[in-house]
Amino acid sequence: MLSLWRVGNLPATAQDAQPKISVLILDGQNNHNWKETTPILKTALESCGRFEVTVSTSPPKGSKEEAWNGWNPEFSKFDAVMSNYNGELWPAKVRQEFTDYVKNGGAFVVIHAANNAFPLWPEYNEMIGLGGWGGRNEKSGPYVYVKDGKVVRDESPGAGGSHGAQSEFLVELLDAAHPITKGMPMKWKHAKDELYDSLRGPGTNMKILAYAHSEKSKKNEPMMMTLQYGKGRVFHTPMGHAGYSMQCVDFFTVVQRGTEWAVTGKVTLPVPPSFPGESAVAPTPGAAVGR
């Protein structure tokens, strides 16, 4: 069982004195193990005392229309929506309600394979900025990466979405002054994960906060992004392939601070003393990182 470990080891009163941020996690379909990772995401948020989490699980793949008609997440009841979903297109009514939610000021958090979802849904691709697979290519938008401290938008032809073998890798800050990254080391070691490369999309109103060098693409690939969609704020991280990729101090911290920023535009949660440096991964207590 996952322990409710508080990143930063702050006393409960320091976090619980603030009103809790309500987060809705969406799952139910994914080409990754959402039954394993959704509980870890829930723990990552609730462990710091700043969030309360509800999970909404979609009908399974191949469900009949009546099952989908019975799934209608009430987005407006939550401060933020986090997607751990990659599967069949949501019904038109749900898509419209979600678009309106974010456009009108709702917060959205995108985790790993959620950026594989919905390649033909224009509004979703505007929200996430960059995505992969599902037939994405140059028509979906440029390949965006970092070179010599600058963001490159490469519009040459090519498929969107790829990754090499899973491994630990260094994450490096591009923007150390943003509320999410302020106080983090310039480089740190992240747990064994899929390092996505060649992501493509419109990438409008997008700021890259951090990147990692891909041995496959030989480029610096975005690992933390913020976006504006209408009045809503979006935080997007391609990290988080599996449980062992998530159960580390840096991932917990990134998700907590990214979600708080998406809701409030500010970050009050501290970077914990146990946050890793360049030399080694910092697993959360009791975690089986890298298995």
Q: Each residue of 241-262: pLDDT tens digit? A: 999 999 999 999 999 999 999 9
Distances (CA, A) of 183 to 48, 111, 178: 17, 22, 9
Asked if residue 82 is part of any domain, the answer here is: yes
State residue 10's pLDDT score: 47
Domain contains 34: yes
With 0-12 / 13-18 / 19 or more C-beta atoms within 10 angstroms meaning exposed / middle / buried, residue 7 is buried
Q: What is the pLDDT of residue 287?
A: 57
Instruction: Report the CATH number that the domain containing residue 92 is assigned in CATH.
Output: 3.40.50.880
Domain contains 167: yes
Question: Does 63 fall in a domain?
Answer: yes
Tokens of 247: 């159960």
How far is the C-alpha of 198 from the C-alpha of 162, rounded, in Å? 6
What is the CB-side half-sphere exposure of residue 214 using CA atoms within 13 A? Answer: 26
Residue 152 lies in a domain: yes
- Please give the tally of structural domains in the chain: 1
How remote is the C-alpha of 1 from its chain's centroid?
Answer: 23
- Per the CB < 8 A criterion, the answer to whether 217 and 197 are in contact is yes
Please say whether the beta carbons of 107 and 263 come within 8 A.
yes
Range of the domain at 99: 12-264
Q: What pLDDT shows up at residue 53?
A: 98
pTM: 0.94
How many residues in the chain?
291
What confidence tens digit (pLDDT) does each residue in 182-211 have? 999 999 999 999 999 999 999 999 999 999
Chain centroid offset of residue 261 CA: 13
Token pair belonging to 159: 């498929």
Please check whether residue 278 lies inside any domain of the structure: no
In terms of Cα–Cα distance, which of 164, 171, 167 is closest to 216? Answer: 164
d(CA 115, CA 129): 9
Residue 167, strand partner residues: 193
Decide if 202 contacts 196 (C-beta within 8 A).
no
**Domain assignment of residue 280, yes or no:** no
Does the residue 165 lie in any domain?
Answer: yes
Please report the pLDDT score of residue 18 as a whole number.
Answer: 81
Flag residues of the chain having pLDDT under 50.
1-5, 7-13, 289-291
Question: What is the C-alpha to C-alpha distance for residues 31 and 85, in angstroms, rounded to an integer?
Answer: 9
